[in-house]
Structure 1
Amino acid sequence: MTLSDRQLRIMRSAREWIAEYGEAPTVRELARAVGLASTSSVHYQLARLREQGIAVETRGRRSARCPYCGH
């Protein structure tokens, strides 16, 4: 398993954020921490990490939808 520099930076930044703030970063906070302007770039890298069996925890916005029925 080979990780790119960007993937390593994302993993380290998420770990450091959790250590400092006690909760996972949002994707936007993670993008800022690694110097990316686009949150879609972070989403892409997180998906590639998940494919390799590495889960990086992020904190999302609460959805107004019902978690059971989706409405």
Structure 2
Amino acid sequence: MLTDRQVRIARGAREWVAEHGEEPSLRELAVQSGLASLSSVHYHLRRMRDQGVVIETRGRPSGRCPHCGH
């Protein structure tokens, strides 16, 4: 179950990709989701990843195959 902040982060990431055609940076994601702290965004992204919800950001490789996603 995602928290309200995590839902805002996920929604902000989707909106950013729809508008710009690429993943947001941590800073852009913080602004897009209305959070002031980059460390807060990073914390929530880590917790979301633990729950199986992966939000990609620019500047940090995911370790997944760019072609098939695995």
Q: Which runs of 4+ in 1 moved over 2 A?
A: none
Distance 1:37 1:9 in 2: 13
TM value normalised by structure 1: 0.80
**Structure 1 residue ranges without an equivalent (≥5):** 62-71
Verify the 8 A CA contact 2:24 2:57 in the aligned structure 1.
Answer: yes
Return the offset for 1:55: 0.4
The alignment of Structure 1 onto Structure 2 pairs a total of residues equal to: 60
Superposed CA RMSD in Å reads 1.1
Max Rg structure: 1
TM value normalised by structure 2: 0.81
Q: Secondary structure at the match of 2:48?
A: helix
In the alignment, does 2:24 pair up with 1:33? no
